[in-house]
Chains A and B, each alone.
Chain A
Amino acid sequence: AQSVTQPDIHITVSEGASLELRCNYSYGATPYLFWYVQSPGQGLQLLLKYFSGDTLVQGIKGFEAEFKRSQSSFNLRKPSVHWSDAAEYFCAVRMRGGADGLTFGKGTHLIIQP
């Protein structure tokens, strides 16, 4: 069955430290890949996306993600987190060539320690 896995429900990081949020997918072919962020009481904001080409993609707010086909992974990274990065992060996928909606992982709750 097709699925998106975010293995970390909660992650706590000190302000200024680096961050990596994991995402793995299980699909027959490489889907389109996305990371969204949801701040408390807010809607979803697209951080970055991967369609093809360079496997390291840059997004907004200083985030980047690396697609690794061999590991079916699309991990999100940031070299130095800020207190304002505290939020819920969702990895999402969409099948290529279709008109489908997104399939989301369960999300990772990021806590920033001062």
Chain B
Amino acid sequence: SAVISQKPSRDICQRGTSLTIQCQVDSQVTMMFWYRQQPGQSLTLIATANQGSEATYESGFVIDKFPISRPNLTFSTLTVSNMSPEDSSIYLCSVGGQTIEQYFGPGTRLTVT
């Protein structure tokens, strides 16, 4: 399986600011996904990021709030914009495409104060 890293691993941010989370994979992958895990909750898909095309967002998530970049087949970023305390969550990227299953990065724990 692919080795996936995320930066930062955690951060504490003030409301109204933005944070960009990076996801790096050690091999080329077709599809990358971003998920949110709110405190004590399950994972919810934010968007699918394919290289060379615009990200596809799930219901309830919009590009202005969660802009995503996918400049190549090994890297993606998710920005959480104009943050509020409700954005405090763990954000995880995952990869798929060559395999049906998905593998997850370690996550970024975000706290907004």
A residues apposed to B, CB below 8 Å: 32, 34, 36, 42-46, 49, 51, 90, 92, 94, 99-107
Shortest distance from the beta carbon of A87 to any chain B beta carbon, whole Å: 14
B112 interface contact, C-beta 8 A: no
* Choice from B41, B100, B104 contacting A32 with Cβ under 8 Å: B100
Chain A residues contacting B102 (CB-CB under 8 Å) are: 46, 94, 101-102
Q: Nearest 8 CB-CB pairs, A to B?
A: A101-B45, A44-B104, A43-B106, A101-B33, A104-B42, A104-B43, A106-B42, A43-B104
Query: Interface residues of A: mostly helix, strand, loop or mixed?
Result: strand
Contact at B101–A42, with CB atoms within 8 Å?
Answer: no
Contact at A49–B48, with CB atoms within 8 Å?
Answer: no
Size bracket, chain B contacts = 20 to 34
Contact at A46–B101, with CB atoms within 8 Å?
Answer: yes
In chain A, what residue has the closest Cβ to B30?
A99
In chain A, what residue has the closest Cβ to B48?
A101
Chain B residues contacting A94 (CB-CB under 8 Å) are: 100, 102
Chain A residues contacting B1 (CB-CB under 8 Å) are: 46
In chain B, what residue has the closest Cβ to A6?
B42
